[in-house]
Amino acid sequence: MGIPGELIPIVLFIMIGVTIIGAPLARAMARRIERGVSGGNQMNSDVAARLERMEQAIDAIAVEVERIAEGQRFTSKLLAGRADAVPVDAAPLPSSARRVNQ
C-alpha cells in the first residue's frame, strides 16, 4: 500500500505554512525565555511618570474638544433657528430706514 500522489503536495504546502508561521513564534518565545519573566515587565519610573502626564494631557484635550463640539452644535442650532424664524427677504425695515426712504 503506497502513499497517494495527491497527498504529497498537500503535505508539502501545509509544512511550508507551519514553518513560515511557526519559526517566528518559536524565536519570539525563545527570546522571552532568555530575557526572563520579570526582565521585560519592569518599567523605568521616569517613563511611567511621562506616560501618566501624557494620559492626563490627552484626557484634557478630549474634554476641550468635546466642549468645542458642543459650542459648534449650539451655534449651528441657533443659526438654523434664526434662518427658519425670519427670512431675509421678509425682514421689516427699521423705523429709521423708513423715514429716509419716504
Write down the domain spans for the chain: 43-84
What confidence score (pLDDT) does residue 67 get? 95
Residue 97, pLDDT above cutoff 70: no
Give the model confidence (pLDDT) of 7-64 as tens digits: 888 888 999 999 999 999 999 999 988 887 555 556 788 888 999 999 999 999 999 9
pLDDT higher at 5 or 30: 30
Give the pLDDT mean for 86-91: 58
What confidence score (pLDDT) does residue 72 get? 93
- DSSP assignments along 4-70, one per residue: PTTHHHHHHHHHHHHHHHHHHHHHHHHHHHHH-TTTTT---HHHHHHHHHHHHHHHHHHHHHHHHHH
